[in-house]
Amino acid sequence: MAAAAALTFVASPVAAAPMPTALAATPQADVNGDGVADLVLSTGARLTYSGDTSLKPNDLGGSVQVLPGGATLPGAPAALVNQNAAGVGLGMEASDKFGAALATGDFNRDGLADVAIGNPGESVNGLANAGTVSVLYGQRTAPYLRALTGALGTINQDTADVPGAMEAGDLFGASLATGDFNGDGYADLGIGSPGEAIETKARAGAVWILYGGSAGLTARNAIAFNQDDPDLAGAAEAGDLMGWALAAGDITGDKRDDLAVVSAGEVITGTADAWGSVHLLHGSASGLSAKASSYISVGNAATHGKWRGAVIGRFHGGANADLVIQADRRRGGPAGSGALVSVRGGNAGLTTAVEVIDQSGDAIPGSPEANDQFGGSLAVGDLDGDTFDDLAVGVLKEDNRTGALCLLRGGAAGLSSFPATAVGENTAPVNAVAAVGEGFGYGLRILDITGDGKPELTVSAPWEDGSPQTGAMFVLNTGLAGNALTVTAARKLGRAQIGTPTAFGPGTPFAGNSAVLDDNLETPK
């Protein structure tokens, strides 16, 4: 049945499909259809629970900003969308986390990027933290996002044709990823629900897949996966937290995206003080299925603590992308220091060719200290134009929460091909006076938002100058100094430049980024 449907899609006029304006392997991000990618970022969702009480009404429970790209930024007035906006629905409450996860992609293939917005804190019908996902479609005029008549606007587990049933604490929408899993040219959406109970197993977690089509994202053929699926490795256990993070990309090299699903609390027999696994669901003409999947866990890597974030990129070049997972620390390292687990991709999916990268080696600047959170944010893109993807790594709490970045350049030997580069607010030409607590690096994205054909690296510091009321976003141009990446130009945008009616400066996360660690979803609600 599904295969026939896919054939129908393939027979549709693919030649008329709009050319993506974003770089290859980057999800479509041009929301207003002017040919330049736009930034989508959240404001309050990451911050409202931190105790700041001087909120504007727009900040209650979180808002999402669209910052149009252009030669001068923003290229057009920025816009703010929240749950009181027309067509969004459910209203704004202080307990919401609207924008805690964001993803862009063209669900209806009209050439304009659409946006999925996770709100894992949403209460529905009195079910606290059941969670919802709002889907808004790109349009050419402000606020650049709209509800699409006849399409799903709000998705939860009680939506018709969506498997499952909504329960308190599901945290549906805590993670999101867009990719084209069936290769029909329409973006599809993965939705994580790490709080989902599987039978009596609390917080075992699960992931949902919805497919795009000419009428937008649809629940038709929607499917959910959990670890009790006999075709998936492992079994659902309480506290697995499957769906804590998601990443999409083509690891198997068949030109269809695959979906990596992180189970942050997975217990592996024989490992001590280490949790985490990743199931990779392989794309196919009929979409994602558990029968075609591969798997890796902390049993394959020398790490301690939990696995959390994940991204996918072609760090070795070639057809097979690699998976990079964020771990709490290298085995034996200081708690919270952060480490990356780079997993080589192959035609059969995830391999056991694994490398653990942290600040302890000579190739990476700095040294691993407790709670540095190296890798707490991650962004993928080709910063130097050599066709190998590069990785921007946030060191969120480096130097007492000042924050820093580490740029890893891809090459024939993957992320270890060249020396890494450290970037902070004191690095020339950033020159923004690094200060304790600013959180430089919390939000990261690599995207050509100026339309000059080369990607920029955007970096947010949500607590710039010691206040969430300030905040800053840096737009960095990069190049090479010898074999290493370097920053060649920088500009800083604050709340005044962005000009949206919120009490917060640029926040986190940028759509397309991996989850920021410090999001306290881990505490049962």
Instruction: Enumerate binding residues for Ca ion (CB under 5 A).
Output: 30, 32, 34, 36, 38, 69, 106, 108, 110, 112, 114, 138, 180, 182, 184, 186, 188, 382, 384, 386, 388, 390
Helices (H), 287-435: 398-401
Task: Select 298 or 324, whichever has its Cβ closest to Ca ion.
Answer: 324
What's the closest the beta carbon of residue 75 comes to Ca ion, in angstroms? 7
Task: Select 58 or 108, whichever has its Cβ closest to Ca ion.
Answer: 108
What's the closest the beta carbon of residue 180 comes to Ca ion, in angstroms? 4
What's the closest the beta carbon of residue 33 comes to Ca ion, in angstroms? 7
What's the closest the beta carbon of residue 256 comes to Ca ion, in angstroms? 9
Distance CA 323, CA 250 (A): 10
Task: Select 146 or 306, whichever has its Cβ closest to Ca ion.
Answer: 146
> Helix %, strand %, coil % for the chain, to 5?
5, 35, 60
Structure tokens at 496: 């005044």
Task: Select 148 or 461, whichever has its Cβ closest to Ca ion.
Answer: 148
What's the closest the beta carbon of residue 5 comes to Ca ion, in angstroms? 11
Task: Select 12 or 426, whichever has its Cβ closest to Ca ion.
Answer: 12
What's the closest the beta carbon of residue 108 comes to Ca ion, in angstroms? 5
Task: Select 161 or 273, whichever has its Cβ closest to Ca ion.
Answer: 161
What's the closest the beta carbon of residue 522 comes to Ca ion, in angstroms? 32
What's the closest the beta carbon of residue 347 comes to Ca ion, in angstroms? 21
Distance CA 163, CA 224 (A): 6
Q: In which region does residue 350 sit, left (phi positive, over 0), alpha (psi from -120 to 50) or beta (all else)?
A: beta
What's the closest the beta carbon of residue 499 comes to Ca ion, in angstroms? 17
Q: Is 29 exposed, middle or buried (0-12, 13-18, 19+ CB in 10 A)?
A: buried
Task: Select 38 or 258, whichever has its Cβ closest to Ca ion.
Answer: 38
Residue type, 142: A
Q: Which residue has the tokens 């696995």?
A: 307
Exposure of 21 in the CB half-sphere (CA atoms within 13 A): 22
Residues 494 and 502 sit within 8 Å (Cβ to Cβ): no
Handedness of CA 300, 182, 249, 213 (dihedral sign): negative
Concatenated DSSP letters of 141-174: STT-EEPPTTS--EE-TTSTT-SS---TT--TTS
Task: Select 110 or 228, whichever has its Cβ closest to Ca ion.
Answer: 110
What's the closest the beta carbon of residue 41 comes to Ca ion, in angstroms? 14
Instruction: From residue 197, give the alpha-carbon distance in Å to each of 45, 236, 363.
Output: 25, 9, 42
Nearest to 309 by CA among 493, 154, 516, 40: 516
Cis peptide before 74 (omega within 30 of 0): yes
Task: Select 180 or 464, whichever has its Cβ closest to Ca ion.
Answer: 180
Q: Is 244 exposed, middle or buried (0-12, 13-18, 19+ CB in 10 A)?
A: buried
What's the closest the beta carbon of residue 109 comes to Ca ion, in angstroms? 7
Task: Select 138 or 173, whichever has its Cβ closest to Ca ion.
Answer: 138
Instruction: From residue 455, give the alpha-carbon distance in Å to each of 429, 441, 451.
Output: 17, 17, 8
Geometric angle at alpha carbon 466, from 462 and 469, rounded to 5°: 55
Residue type, 25: A
Task: Select 221 or 337, whichever has its Cβ closest to Ca ion.
Answer: 221
Task: Select 154 or 300, whichever has its Cβ closest to Ca ion.
Answer: 154
What's the closest the beta carbon of residue 29 comes to Ca ion, in angstroms? 8
Task: Select 181 or 442, whichever has its Cβ closest to Ca ion.
Answer: 181
Concatenated DSSP letters of 167-201: -TT--TTSEEEEE-SS-SSS-EEEEEETT--BTTB
What's the closest the beta carbon of residue 332 comes to Ca ion, in angstroms? 31
Contacts of 403 (CB under 8 A, 6+ apart): 394, 395, 396, 397, 424, 425, 438, 439, 440, 441, 442, 461
* Maximum Cα interatomic distance, the chain, rounded to a whole number of Å: 59
Distance CA 318, CA 324 (A): 16
